[in-house]
Amino acid sequence: MRISVQLNDFDIGKELKFFNNDDTNIGAVVSFHGIVRNNCAKSLLHMDIEQYPGMTQKAISKYVEIAVERWSLYDALVIHRHGKLLLGDQIMMVATAARHRRDAFQSAEFLMDYLKSRAPFWKKEVTKDGYQWVKSVLDDESALERWT
């Protein structure tokens, strides 16, 4: 299990290569990564991601532990960046390793749903006219219901 909250970029290929590749029980690895996209007005200059340093690691660990237990994962990886990110930059990645693909897919989705609305990160979109905090959407909150 590895959780990293970092300023720097990450190399998905390298991360997955070292992602518990010596466990012979693993038959499926699912990975997801999110990237900075433009806003609807196509005016995004960059994004600033704020975090609550003491709480981020703790909150992510909590949900990773739940996922490992619920889907019998052999390994899980979460990387989330903070600070200034440019258009096209990688924001975060999640990877899960299980015996079968169904567990790997479901646990990765579960982690993504919880990271979106339970890990203390806040996105700010900066444009030439100023900035605005990204609003949370009701869909993100209701996405959690299917896991309860």
Residues near another protein (CB under 8 A) are 34, 49-50, 52, 54-55, 58-59, 80, 91-92, 112, 115-124, 133-136, 141
Tokens describing residue 48:
């600033």
C-alpha to C-alpha distances, 52 to 5, 18, 49, 91, 111, nearest whole angstrom = 11, 28, 10, 16, 19
Exposure string over 59-77, b if 16+ CB within 10 A, otherwise e? bbeebbeebbeebebbbbb
The residue (of 26 and 77) whose beta carbon lies closer to another protein is 77
Give 66 or 99: the residue with its C-beta nearer to another protein: 66
Least CB distance to another protein at residue 75 (A): 20
> In this complex, which beta carbon is closest to another protein, that of residue 7 or of residue 134?
134
We find the least distance from the C-beta atom of residue 45 to another protein, in angstroms, to be 18
Shortest Å distance, C-beta 114 to another protein: 9
Closer CB to another protein, 5 or 98, in the complex: 5
State the Cα–Cα distance between residues 93 and 123, nearest whole angstrom. 16
Query: Counting runs of H as helices and runs of E as strands, what totals does the chain give?
Result: 4, 8
- The token pair at 131 is 């900035």
Measured from the CB of residue 49, what is the shortest distance to another protein in angstroms? 8
